[in-house]
Amino acid sequence: MSGSPAPALASAPVSVVAEHSAAASVAVPVSAAPAAVLPGQAAPAGWAWPVGPPRELARPFEAPASRYAAGHRGIDLVAGEGHPVRSPADGVVTFVGRVVDRPVLSIQHGEGLVSSFEPVSATVSEGDRVLAGQVVGVVATGSHCTARCVHFGVRRHGQYISPMLFLGGLARAILLPLPPIGPVPIPAR
Round to whole Å and give the CA distance between 84 and 67.
Answer: 32
More confident of the two residues 154 and 45 = 154
Q: Nearest Cα to 91, choosing from 72, 73, 78, 105?
A: 105
Q: pLDDT, tens digit, for every residue of 94-153?
A: 999 999 889 999 999 999 999 999 999 999 999 999 999 999 999 998 777 766 899 999
Whether 115 contacts 51, CB under 8 Å:
no
Q: pLDDT, tens digit, for every residue of 43-79?
A: 355 799 999 888 888 999 998 888 888 888 999 999 9
Peptide bond into 7 cis (omega under 30): no
Q: pLDDT band for position 187 (50/70/90)?
A: confident
Q: How long is the chain? A: 189
Stretch among 7-11, 58-62, 82-86, 178-182 having the lowest mean pLDDT: 7-11
Q: pLDDT band for position 170 (50/70/90)?
A: low
Q: Kindly tell me if the per-residue pLDDT of 12 is higher than 50.
A: no
CB neighbour burial string for 13-23, b if at least 16 within 10 angstroms, e if fewer = eeeebebbeee
Round to whole Å and give the CA distance between 62 and 43.
Answer: 21
DSSP state of 167: H
Q: What is the pLDDT of residue 65?
A: 87
